[in-house]
Amino acid sequence: MGFLTKTTTMMIHLFLIVVSSFAAGTGAFTTSPNPSNRVQLVIKMSSAVSHSDNLSSNSGMQRRPTPRRIRETANFKEAKELSEKFKRINNSGGEKKRVAIFGGGLSGLSCAKYLSDAGHIPTLYEARSILGGKVSAWKDPTSDGDDYIETGLHIFFGAYPNIHNLFDELQIQDRLQWAPHRMTFAMQELPGKFTTFEFPDGVPAPFNMAAAILGNSEMLTLEEKIRMVPALLPMLLEGQSFIDAQDELSVLQFMRKYGMPERINEEIFIAMGKALDFIDPDKLSMTVILTAMNRFINESDGSQTAFLDGNPPDRLCKPIKDSIENKGGEVVCSSPVVEIQLNDNDSTVKSLRLANGAEVVADYYVSAVPVDVFKRIIPRQWSTVPYFRQLDELEGIPVINIQLWFDRKLSSADGLCFSRSPLLSVYADMSNCCEEYASDDRSMLELVFAPCSPESGSSVNWIAKADNEIVDATMKELERLFPNQIGPKAPEEKRANLVKSTVVRVPRSVYAAIPGRNKYRPSQESPINNFVMAGDYASQKYLGSMEGAVLSGKLAAEVICDKISGNNERKGIKDVHISATQQVFEEREPVGIAGNTPITFGGGQQGGCDHP
């Protein structure tokens, strides 16, 4: 390939990077489709629009089918093949084993589901009375109606192949409400105005994203886009080796190393860091950005997004639970594991001790709890093993989820928007984009408040503030986004009043993807013969996300199945970084699990309220 051809290709990839990187975390981007862009690669310059231009009534919400090209990707086919592997194992009639899994988030549920598909007998133990972990939700105990309080705002991407295979297997694909392929960002200097990226229908990647970004001149000039090329050209030429090598650099360090304009940080990377990992770009590993882009770049529908049509415990977790139990497995809630008990002769797992004193004995054991929870129960005998000691380098990042109910309908877009606010990452009017929360008369905004602590980039430790302080600060930010409807300057006849608010704190959410952390993420297989690791922080290619959690649980199930069948061609244990192998560690007693709140087990907690 000649240099000019490579440069031209890189330009297309570059235009894709800016937006697809946003999409790796929590973003979804929706409004009504633009038919004029359906089959043409015409560059249409977008202009700033007001929220009211994008207002979409949810009456008779349309359900768009899953984008066709999702099932045509290599990643989807790879995910499907792994699912088929479990069915083949079951059909082979091999020995059935009992597996104890602790942690009832998506990773633990995924692991149990695929073990049951393979004919084994999993029992899943969840500490709380509800399933879901970081996607858990519960009914508002102060409400007379059916309001649900959610741990976070969750979006499903086209480039989530294992999740879409899972939905297919459970026959619940119709529970995803797909958005048109559009991205919406607030204009910082123009209150109430937004700019959009339009993705032409029927155009393959990377041309559809190139058209979307070229068609928007309000966030970056063409010159600024071109000046990004030298920094990103090595990614195209060197591939994954270059991507992995950037883990030692923050996004800001990477920018400065390659001479990228500072305005790119102000216009693009600040919003990107908050969306990807709830932190600012001076603290976010560049590998996260490049990995995200690498996953979306070649998939035409990879950055298209969907909302679940209702609360996750009922609409997603329950079908997985039913699948497990219908095949002989068991899911047990309100059963926290507080100790891993070992055999004296070889330090393999002897049993798990539950908080009620009961002991759980199985053939294999899987941890699917958050890394911060698992570190508290690592047995003393394991504490000097480099595989486990490397977990000292990983910890969850704080985030706050806010829900606001108003007495009237806001003129908000029918999907998620990047607020580009100092305090808020992304938000969505759930009355527009989720069937269970639909309303033509009143809005319910769900917002991600990040960064929210000094360690993640905030000058204020918001995670420790009172609910009313957090809500007041959020409402102040919303005055900029909705100047004609929120705040004292809004006309009285249009003003929306806050009826109710909830604040859910997650002090330790997804692992903090700061520079240099990727090498410490453990493989699913561990040095302990009958113990396997799951969780989105364990090594897999989809980072800390719902897809990463599902894939990690699936890979953990594969490790167990391969061990049982005697398959020695499995991936094995990931090399532990040299910094964790060249030290002599002293044994440590486990700190243990204290308390019985959602935060104790790595979940989100609604302040001052007794809830699951």
Contacting residues for 490 by C-beta, under 8 A, at least 6 apart: 479, 482, 483, 484, 496
Residue 8 has a pLDDT of 42
Nearest to 125 by CA among 365, 415, 326: 365
Note whether 447 and 404 are within 8 A (CB). yes
Measure Cα distances from 185 to 42, 102, 443 in Å.
21, 40, 19
Q: Of 549, 571, 429, 553, nearest to 486 (Cα)? A: 429
Check residue 29 and give its pLDDT.
30
CA distances from 336 to 21, 100, 102, 356, 596 (A): 37, 12, 8, 8, 9
| Cis, bond preceding 312 (omega within 30 deg of 0) | no
Tell me the backbone φ, ψ of residue 490, rounded to 5 degrees.
-75, 140
- State the CB neighbour count (10 A cutoff) for residue 508: 18
CB 433 within 8 A of CB 414: yes
CA distance 29 to 536: 24
Number of residues that this document lists for the chain: 612
Question: Rounded to whole angstroms, how far apart are CA atoms 441 and 4?
Answer: 55
What's the CA gap between 233 and 147, in Å, rounded?
48
Tell me the CB-side half-sphere exposure of residue 533, using CA atoms within 13 A.
25
CA dist., res. 206 & res. 212, Å (int): 10
Contact call for residues 134 and 105 (beta carbons, < 8 A): yes
127 is in an annotated binding site: yes
Residue 365, beta-bridge partner list: 100, 531
Q: Token pair 């594991």 is at which residue?
A: 337
Token pair for 535:
């969780």
Mean pLDDT, 10 residues at a time, the chain of 612 residues: 43 45 34 33 41 42 87 96 97 94 99 99 98 96 84 94 98 94 88 91 88 86 84 79 92 92 84 84 89 78 92 98 99 98 97 98 99 98 96 96 97 83 92 94 96 93 96 97 96 96 96 94 98 97 93 99 92 84 85 92 80 66
| 107 is annotated as contributing to ligand binding | yes
Tokens for 529? 């013969």
Which residues, 6+ apart, have CB-to-CB distance to 514 below 8 Å?
A: 250, 279, 283, 284, 285
For the chain, the straight-line distance linking the first and the last C-alpha, in angstroms and rounded, comes to 58
| Residue 426 among known ligand-binding residues | no
* Residue 359 DSSP class: E
On whether the pTM is more than 0.85, the answer is: yes
Collapsed DSSP state (helix, strand, coil) of residue 464: helix
Structural domains of the chain sorted by starting position, each given as residue range(s) with its CATH number in brackets: 3-53+197-304 (no CATH), 94-136+313-395+512-606 (3.50.50.60)
Upstream peptide bond of 451 is cis (omega within 30 degrees of 0): yes
- Residue 609 confidence (pLDDT): 53
194: amino acid identity, one letter: F
Q: Which of 478, 410, 485, 484 is nearest to 444 (CA)?
A: 410
Contacts of 580 (CB under 8 A, 6+ apart): 386, 389, 390, 393, 520
